[in-house]
Copies of this chain bind each other. A is one copy, B any other.
Amino acid sequence: MSVDAEEMRARVALSRLAEPANPALARTLRLVSPAELLDQLLSQSLDDHVLDRQLRSRLERLDIDKELAALDSVGGRVVCPGDDEWPVCLDDLDDRAPLVLYVRGGGHLAAAVDRAVAMVGTRDATAYGVEVATTMSVELSDRGWTIVSGGAYGIDAASHRGALAAGGVTVAVLACGVDVTYPRGHDGLFEAIAESGLIVSELPPGSAPHRMRFLDRNRLIAALAAGTVVVEAAARSGARRTALDALALGRSLMIVPGSVIASSSVGCHRLLREKPEAVLVTGAADVCEQVGRIGADLAPVPQGATTSRDALTAELARVLDAVPVYREQGPARIAATAGLPLRDVELALGRLEMVGLVEQRAGHWRLSAAQRRARSSADSPRSASDGHTRVSPGA
């Protein structure tokens, strides 16, 4: 399912005309469609004069085709509320939900953030912070969690890199256009993220990062994840805003402590002292205990939930059905069972692993522990004779 082209174009236009998190605009869009609002603006018939003045200043230079061409040139796409890829968790932002998302990368955004943890912290990270962020990100990725962060230097970069190193999925939410590399030094990192994960922004292509945009961006990081982990934060830090956004959204706020002598953890300790809801975490296991789902994550080998399966393409579902429950098989055998080309099956297995549905040992595959549990508790058809289960697409 995807929204129609007219609505998509209108949302792109409005994202250019308005700055993010404009509650007046959001409230108006409950009464009229984006296309109608744009029409009213163009025909000077918008009743709300304050909103009219806000949106009009950039109206002269509006060129939707140019926006879309710029996006297209970096292989980006537009994701609107109502699209399959739209993360419904953003609805929790209410009046401050984004109008539209610009997305780059090979992942499926809604699927990617179905089990996501945000990891944020200072750009001026210490060796300790980088070590903790990297290790935690690797371990959460191993457990099938997507890592959401802001693409900045320091803790953000370590969080993204840990996920990449573990072959996991990571989402960078930028405070500029998805075609803008900020900071410049993260050119290679952003390319790597886009390959298997996602680069996301609510700002149209070419948008430069401003201070307010960073602060507004942080609400998206908090909203896209089940919980936010702050690894290192000085007394004044953007991570604090993300932390407070997470609490305001009813998400978990998790804090990594550190040296009380170093300035790099002052913000972390302050949050732990000020916010009774904030939970001290020392590693991935503590994070899973906090944001994990009962049955999926509170088990020795934490792992992917059944909801992920519903988001699969027909081909992925077919490959999944061919994967044995317990006794691992090689890709060739699975390809034969599925009746699909080996290369396609290999790619599909990689993707299924990323969303936590299958696991491998030495190149041989079987269902993940959580998926096995999910199946054994579900009322699904099974044939135990050959040691694995076939599940019909709707199971």
Contact = CB atoms under 8 A, between A and B. Distances in A.
Contacts of A259: 128, 258-259
Interface of A: 128, 131-132, 256-261, 265-266, 269, 272-273, 276, 279-283, 286
Q: Which of A256, A260, A286: most chain B Cβ within 10 A?
A: A260
A272 B261 contact: no
Contacts of A282: 260, 266, 269, 273
A265 B269 CA distance: 15
28 contacts: A128-B259, A128-B261, A131-B261, A132-B260, A132-B261, A257-B257, A257-B258, A257-B265, A257-B269, A257-B272, A257-B280, A258-B258, A258-B259, A258-B260, A259-B259, A260-B281, A260-B282, A260-B283, A266-B282, A269-B280, A269-B282, A272-B272, A272-B280, A273-B279, A273-B280, A273-B282, A273-B286, A276-B276
A26 to B, nearest CB: 37
B269 A260 contact: no
Contacts of A128: 259, 261
A74 B85 CA distance: 80
Contacts of A265: 257
A273 B265 CA distance: 18
Contacts of A132: 260-261
Contacts of A272: 257, 272, 280
Given A257-B272, A260-B283, A276-B276, 8 more contacts: A131-B261, A257-B258, A257-B260, A259-B259, A260-B282, A266-B282, A269-B280, A272-B280
Contacts of A280: 257, 269, 272-273, 280
Q: How many copies does the complex hold?
A: 2
Nearest to A269: B282
Nearest to A231: B260
Nearest to A280: B272
Nearest to A135: B261
A256 B258 CA distance: 9
A269 B260 CA distance: 13
Nearest to A276: B276
A257 B273 CA distance: 11
A128 B262 CA distance: 10
A280 B282 CA distance: 14
Contacts of A258: 257-260
A286 B282 CA distance: 22
Contacts of A269: 257, 280, 282
A132 B260 CA distance: 8
Contacts of A256: 260
Nearest to A270: B282
A266 B266 CA distance: 19
Nearest to A286: B273
A261 to B, nearest CB: 6
Contacts of A273: 279-280, 282, 286
Nearest to A279: B273
Contacts of A260: 132, 256-258, 281-283
A45 to B, nearest CB: 57
A298 B258 CA distance: 26
A298 to B, nearest CB: 15
A132 B272 CA distance: 19
A269 B261 CA distance: 17
A283 B276 CA distance: 19
Nearest to A260: B282
Contacts of A283: 260
Nearest to A283: B260
A119 to B, nearest CB: 14
A272 B259 CA distance: 15
A257 B282 CA distance: 11
